[in-house]
Amino acid sequence: MNSSIGTSVPGRSRAGSERSEAFAQYSIALFCLVLVAIPLLPLILQAFSAQPLYGWDGSLTFANFVHLFGLPEIPALAGTTLLFCVISIAFSTIFGTVLALLVGRTDIPLRGALSNILLWPMFVSPLVIGFGAILTYGPSGYISGLYMRFTGQSAPWDIYTVWGLSLMSGIAMVPMTILYCISSAQQQDPRLEAAARSAGAGPLRIVSRITIPLMRPAIVYAFVMNVVAALEMFAIPLLLGGPVGIQLITTFIYDKGFEAGRPDYGLVSAAAIILLIMVCSLVALQHILLSRAHRFISIGPKGGRLQPLELGGWRWPAFGLVLLYIAMTMGALGFGLLLRSFVSILTPFISPLELLTLENYRDVLFNPTYRQSVINTVLLAVIGGFVATAIVGAIAFVAQRSDFRMRGTVDMLAQLPRAVPGLIVSLGVFYAAIFVPGLGIIAGTLWILGLAYIIRYLPAGYGIVAPALLQVTQDFDRAARVAGASWAMTMRRIVAPVVKPAFLACYTLMMILFLKEYAAAIFLFRPGNEVISMTMLTAWIPGYTGIVSSLAVIQIAITAILILIATRLFGVKLHG
């Protein structure tokens, strides 16, 4: 009798443990589904509804799409968007590839430091780049004024054109190309280049015949990501195109849904769905193209060390060209913002030393709205980033380290928001707050911004944690099972500590992304839940350029401090 009791109790315990595990895994999967559905389902319903969601009668219609394509401005809007995409993508892809080759494969001086500097725009909001462009290269900008002062003529450039806003957007997109291409350029089999050198090939021939062809998957990946980024680009077209009436699809959605006195929710949703379909198609194309990337594998065993390409007499000119690009882009934009934050007026015709002031920073410190926006941004970054990392970890454990029968679906759901632009996330969460019972309670608070940010960047965090989990042997899980540990305990006590560096990197990335995010807050911004990006945008409208510059400098400084802490104290690597 005692023997039968002794064997039955563990059986009941194991059955109860399995039910608890199944409940936890189903709960996490359902939560992931809800996160993805929150911005998308209300948006889709609104696109096919003749009434606003708060008065929806259950009927569906295609009238919003008929109305959208019947607008007389749509052909011009499509043409302008296409031209913008072509220019910005060509600039970012060409310049990014060339810069990646120079700092990643050649022997130019300080190439390690230069590669880090070139990636910095990734950590800065496009709003900051747009403001910096106006302050430096605008008609009244500092560099434009310097040109007029020394030549007596107006500057030959005009950033308030499709070409101008396209090139400035391209500057924001270049680091993405560098990030993907520099890793590909540095991981090629050195025996191929050694063979080419022994055959008498010079650096240019090696690059054109060997290096670039082997980089094709990375260039294609960067190209598709740049197309997605161009279609999503909102801040720079708004700042540079809005004043002169240049509209892209993103600014069209903003104008019709935010600036209009009576927003046409159906029209806005229909336009957002069109943008969503285009971005989803591009992401799907990216997966198809990368599925054939194995044809370009060039790394094998005992490949040796890849030596930098010697440029000879072109070494210093190449170094000068990289410095010139940095000086004319991020250097000039950052200098304009920093200088404007410390002067009462930004002009090249009066010495800045005569105009120095701390008034702009005093206004930020003592104005409740500005001060609260900084506090809210830091809270969102630190606390929201931590919550996002915990959510990413739970989803990744289910998708990558469990026997959950729908783990493949969870993996797909976690990556789905990558194809959803921030503006659409903001609009979808705005509709959800109206349509979903109970969600309206957090409308106008930091909670709803945190929700939108987590949805927006769920794939970014998942992309760090999931690969790290795949690299950890399953033997840990099996050994823990034999010892009687539950799935949750195995993940918490054994697997999570092993992938701690990936969680730290995910948390750091989330904080940086939350700090610079603006698009996901556009339709959710209310007095009381101000963040730095939206406060800069509202302060820019009445012309408070000193306040905007100070807030931009503060945002950059906070980002730099976080990166310094993460990389120096915790050894986090934000790029390869």
Residue among 524, 51, 124, 470 at smallest CA distance from 331: 124
Q: Is 41 exposed, middle or buried (0-12, 13-18, 19+ CB in 10 A)?
A: middle
Q: Give the pLDDT score at 54.
A: 76
DSSP state of 248: -
Q: Which residues pair with 106 in a beta bridge?
A: 309
40 backbone dihedrals φ, ψ, rounded to 5°: -90, -45
Tens digits of residue pLDDT in 450-489? 999 999 999 999 988 988 888 887 877 788 788 878 888 8
Give the other-Cβ count within 10 Å of 368's Cβ: 8
Residues with Cβ within 8 Å of residue 576, at least 6 apart in sequence: 179, 182, 183
pLDDT digits (tens), the chain, 576 positions: 344 444 444 555 666 667 788 888 999 999 999 999 998 999 999 999 988 877 777 888 999 999 999 999 999 999 999 999 999 999 999 999 999 888 888 888 988 889 889 988 888 999 999 999 999 999 999 999 999 988 988 899 999 999 999 999 999 999 988 988 887 776 665 566 666 666 666 666 676 666 777 777 778 888 888 988 999 899 999 999 989 999 999 999 888 876 666 778 888 999 999 988 988 888 777 777 666 544 444 444 444 566 777 788 888 999 999 999 999 999 999 999 999 999 999 888 888 888 999 999 999 999 999 999 999 999 999 999 999 999 999 999 999 888 888 888 999 899 888 888 888 999 999 989 988 888 889 988 999 999 999 999 999 999 889 888 888 878 777 887 888 788 888 888 888 898 898 999 999 999 999 999 999 998 898 888 899 999 999 999 898 999 999 999 999 999 999 988 988 877 777 665
Q: Give the pLDDT score at 261.
A: 63
- For residue 307, the SS3 value is coil
Q: How far apart are CA 329 and CA 326, in angstroms?
A: 5
DSSP state of 519: G
DSSP state of 234: -
Taken in order of first residue, the domains within the chain and their CATH numbers are: 27-48+358-576 (1.10.3720.10), 62-293 (1.10.3720.10)
Q: Give the pLDDT score at 448.
A: 94
Whether 171 and 330 have beta carbons less than 8 Å apart is answered as: yes
Q: Give the pLDDT score at 167.
A: 95
Tens digits of residue pLDDT in 496-546? 898 898 999 999 999 999 999 999 998 898 888 899 999 999 999 898 999
Residues with Cβ within 8 Å of residue 516, at least 6 apart in sequence: 123, 124, 125, 128, 533, 555, 559
Q: Is 48 exposed, middle or buried (0-12, 13-18, 19+ CB in 10 A)?
A: middle
Write a three-state SS string for 42-100: HHHHHHCCCCCHHHCCCCCCCHHHHHHHHCCCHHHHHHHHHHHHHHHHHHHHHHHHHHH
Place of tokens 């400098």: 553
Q: How far apart are CA 233 and CA 286, in angstroms?
A: 19
Q: Give the pLDDT score at 69.
A: 92
472 backbone dihedrals φ, ψ, rounded to 5°: -95, 130
Q: Give the pLDDT score at 257.
A: 78
Calculate the dihedral angle through the C-alpha atoms of 115, 119, 120, 124, rounding to the nearest 10 degrees: 180
Q: Give the pLDDT score at 293.
A: 47
Distances (CA, A) of 547 to 327, 369, 387, 402, 542: 24, 12, 31, 50, 11
- For residue 123, the SS3 value is helix
Give the other-Cβ count within 10 Å of 420's Cβ: 26
